[in-house]
Amino acid sequence: MKIFGYVLESYGKYVKVRTQDGEYIIKSDKRPPKEGTKLELKNFGSGDYFAKVVAKKPYEFNELPSVKFVQMAEELLASQEIWNEHVKNRLAIAIGLFLEEVSKRRDIDKKLLTRFKSLLNERIGRRSDSGEVIGGTGILFPGNHADNSDKADKYAEFEKYLNILSGRYGLIINEGLVFVDRELGTFEVFVVGNHIFAKTDGQNLTLYFEKIPDGVEQLERRLKRVFRQVHIKLKGMDDGTYV
């Protein structure tokens, strides 16, 4: 790969670059280049500015958030040790899109971010008495796994409040995270050891799993109570499109 692009914006570790084939968000520990700087993006050789590609539009996301919100999302996820780097990067973009929508309706202040981080830490990456990380496809049916404690009820109201403000996007946080694009009718499920992408089309649902989990037949039967047709597939990509 070797393409040229221009810096649209930068914040913290993140830089958004526009190229002839779309937009990129890249990440580096080095000082970011200024807005308008011309960059050569390549995956070989050497250069003055080393960075990793975090996300591409339109290949991985239909929209990319302002990098300010990606930096916020990274800080929210800092203590989430159950995710690998690739998943954390994708989560940072998803949460960044969500925060950007919320910011159109209220300020994203320190108090909100602190409470959001507490919600993530309480709901995700919890461990059982045996030390095993809790998480699985049960997030698709959060009502069956709800924690009825006062703390959970408090977070439930906060989560509901954010989703009222979040416009196009939604987040469900319960033993994992579901990122919803209400406009496109798609959602992504992030759970321990698996990633699921789903597309709805009227009464039809297609689920693309990174790994087919145990009990998938039971999951399919339960989903058919809601959808007329349910298709379960292993995830594959062709030019950024699930196939």
Whether pLDDT at 134 is above 80: no
Q: Is residue 49 part of a domain?
A: yes
Whether pLDDT at 234 is above 80: yes
Q: Is residue 66 part of a domain?
A: no
Q: Is residue 9 part of a domain?
A: yes
CATH of the domain at 1: 2.40.50
More confident of the two residues 100 and 42: 100
How large a percentage of the chain has pLDDT more than 70?
85
Q: So what's the pLDDT on residue 153? A: 64
Domain count of the chain?
1
Closest CA to 23 of 69, 67, 87: 67
Q: Please give the Cα distance from 56 to 100 (Å, whole number).
A: 18
Per-residue pLDDT, averaged over 87-93, amounts to: 92
Q: Please give the Cα distance from 25 to 154 (Å, whole number).
A: 35
Q: So what's the pLDDT on residue 199? A: 94
Per-residue pLDDT, averaged over 50-69, amounts to: 93
Whether pLDDT at 74 is above 70: yes
Least confident of 29-33, 39-43, 51-55, 67-71: 39-43
Q: Please give the Cα distance from 68 to 77 (Å, whole number).
A: 15
Record the pTM. 0.84
Per-residue pLDDT, averaged over 88-97, amounts to: 95
SS (H, E, C) 22-89: EEEEEECCCCCCCCCCEEEEECCCCCCCCCEEEEEECCCCCCCCCHHHHHHHHHHCCCCCCCCHHHHH
pLDDT tier for residue 99 given thresholds of 50, 70 and 90: very high
pLDDT tier for residue 44 given thresholds of 50, 70 and 90: confident
Closest CA to 11 of 107, 100, 105: 100
pLDDT tier for residue 13 given thresholds of 50, 70 and 90: very high
pLDDT in tens, 186-228: 999 998 888 899 999 999 999 999 888 888 898 899 999 999 9
Q: Is residue 36 part of a domain?
A: yes
SS (H, E, C) 6-25: EEEEEECCEEEEEECCEEEE
Q: So what's the pLDDT on residue 41? A: 85
Q: So what's the pLDDT on residue 58? A: 87
Neighbouring C-alpha atoms within 13 Å toward the C-beta of 208 = 13
Whether pLDDT at 126 is above 80: no
More confident of the two residues 79 and 108: 108
Q: Is residue 126 part of a domain?
A: no
Q: Is residue 10 part of a domain?
A: yes
Q: Is residue 230 part of a domain?
A: no
Least confident of 5-14, 140-149, 163-172: 140-149
Secondary structure (DSSP) of 170-228: EEEESSSEEEEETTTTEEEEEETTEEEEEEEETTEEEEEESSPPTTHHHHHHHHTTT-S
Q: How far is CA 194 from the centre of its chain?
A: 13
DSSP letter at 134 equals P
Cα angle 144, 146, 151; round to 5: 175
pLDDT tier for residue 149 given thresholds of 50, 70 and 90: low
Structural domain boundaries enclosing 7: 1-61
DSSP letter at 130 equals T
Q: Is residue 55 part of a domain?
A: yes
